[in-house]
Structure 1
Amino acid sequence: MRAAFFLTAILASSSLMMASAGPDDFHPGTVIEGYGNIASVEDPRLSSETEFHIAYDVASAAEEGAVSRSFVTPARFLNMHVDAGVPAENIHLAVVVHGGAFKDLLNDEAYGAENPNGPLIAQLIDAGVTFELCGQTAAYRDVSAEDLLPRVTISLSAMTSHALLQQQGYTLNPF
């Protein structure tokens, strides 16, 4: 009985190991370099006609001196879907930032050091991603447009940004 249980456990675990992917299956994407590694998926069932309009809501700041994982997420999304055959021009992403995450949008002078998010945000904006800081957060934190990384904008509020994005067909990505 014990031998049968042991054999079953070995077979089950070995079949799981053969069927699963591992960290070695992840590779850099082609749109956002250095961020957002992906694993290619065979037959992802997406056509070149697929179009996305997705908003991300970011309220929590990255750890001091670290790149925001919340900003890496849209990089992964872009890299993953272009790898799967969706043209980059069919992917429209918006990042709405409020609360403590405002710090991750500051230029180096306002940040007080080199902002580790700067290079990632620049690549994302170059790829067409928009970054909007909640104007209510900016007012509360005494942040002006001059304090922000280039091409980051200030909206009336995060609530307003999300309402307008929804009217434009954007869905909210929960990740």
Structure 2
Amino acid sequence: MNDTNYANSGQYLSDSFLRAYWSAIVSVFALGGAIGASLTGWWAFSFGRKRGCLTNTVLGFVAIGLLVLSPTFKSYHSLLVGRFIIGLHSGLYTGLCPLFLNEISTPATRGPLGVLHQTSTVVGILVAQVLGFPILLGSGSKWVALLAPPVLLAFQPILTLGF
């Protein structure tokens, strides 16, 4: 961030500002998630469950674009906005997926599908944490590779919900 700011404005950022801004980038995901989860009911009734999932995918693509292109834009502000939007997207999906799965499943499969969704969410968090270790992809030069799985997963609803 400091090198980017120096390249853009000719000034280095203070250590306290760097820590505060980086903390904001990390924590704004949770803010977006809380807002997205709060909007789930409105989103589901406005768009429907299936179309709600598909329209939410647009938010995912916008966020991924901002995050992936932030080094190209030489803008750490796009990281902040992208993390907020991906949090909003994740919060919406956390509520929309169980609603949709509950509607399309039979009574016998309703419980297992509900558990599968939450288990998949927790496994995804675990995999992201492990891949974020500095020895794997958590270094300054490799962090963009951590955005590849969301890009691939963002296409899944388009491929499967279109039918």
TM-score (norm 1): 0.27
| Structure whose CA Rg is larger | 1
When you count helix as a share of all residues, which structure comes out higher?
2
When you count strand as a share of all residues, which structure comes out higher?
1
